[in-house]
Structure 1
Amino acid sequence: MGESTNIVWHNSNVTKEERREKNQHHSFVLWFTGLSGSGKSTVANAVARALFDQGIGNYVLDGDNIRFGLNKNLGFSDDDRKENIRRIGEVAKLFVDSGQAVLTAFISPFQEDRDQVRTILGEDEFVEIFVKCPLDECEKRDPKGLYKKARSGEIKQFTGIDSPYEAPNRAELVVETDKHDIEECVQLVLDYLKERRFI
């Protein structure tokens, strides 16, 4: 893909700071990463509901949902996975600029790609949340039947089976879904956000 040329950034008449002030909350990205079946989407959506109920404007970007539209032209090769995450990072940045909280639920298996997203956001705008769950537990859950297909060879390049997952090396928060129920996981996230004075 070639890079765009002959373009100039156009500044908005309404600043990010003004939007935050009007919304009465900080804008930020909660980046949920973990194996398939770890509970990323479940936790992200439960946190989104809790934030919404507190008047915090937010939106969830879910891995599967994004591949129905924005990223439907991408497969699961390493290069496509990188491009998938790059695009999501740019979309997430737009949400932050609009004064909203955005929660992303993506396997995002490579540390380099997650770090790239971190660099395009402000220092106080990116929260990496490792949704930690052992592979064998994720396989037991197998909510979409993907592990079964991967083990039988129907799915190639499946993260955790024949494609690597690099666990975060500096996540701001770790939630262990095999040890805590959904309510406890949500509370861990909310407590962190309050501690950082994001909400």
Structure 2
Amino acid sequence: KDIAVEVNSLSKTYAMAGWRVGMVVGNARICAALARVKSYLDYGAYTPIQVAAAAALNGPQDCVEEIRGIYKGRRDTLVESMKRAGWDIPAPPASMFAWAPLPEAFREAGSMLFSKLLIEEAGVAVAPGVAFGEYGEGYVRIGLVENENRIRQAARNVRRFLANAEEILGRAHNTGTGL
């Protein structure tokens, strides 16, 4: 509290992603400086959004556990179905995203090319890790935004994709979009 602040939002906890409702707590001087800068950037959130945020924070909290359960189910489905497809993805302990190391056959290709080929060949969209900085290379970020049936379908597409990895990489290399 003396030297730092903590920033949080209602995005995931209350399924208010995109509403841009959050809070900062901690060092009073830093919070005041942030409030001043923010006042130059916008005029505050739309009143009905503020009312909804207050209702979420002050109302029954059973929805939080329900949302956590949904994301846990999606996470478990992703990890299990991708493992069966041939792609080991570590289970994130607490997130709506999974950070997945590139499958062995695609490690040399990099996260950008892997992501491009995965959407073109398998219809599965992931975010290339390199987009999050140099330490993201070698990984992709997968959002747990789809229901469990769609995740299982994506895993079936990934299984076929990985089974044809050599051919897919060969085509990418020959067309100049690859390594």
Which protein has the bigger helix share?
2
Q: Using CA pairs under 8 Å that are at least 6 residues apart, name the structure with larger relative contact order, 1 or 2.
A: 1
Q: Please say which structure displays the higher CA radius of gyration.
A: 2
On whether the aligned pair clears a TM of 0.5, the verdict is: no
TM-score (norm 1): 0.26
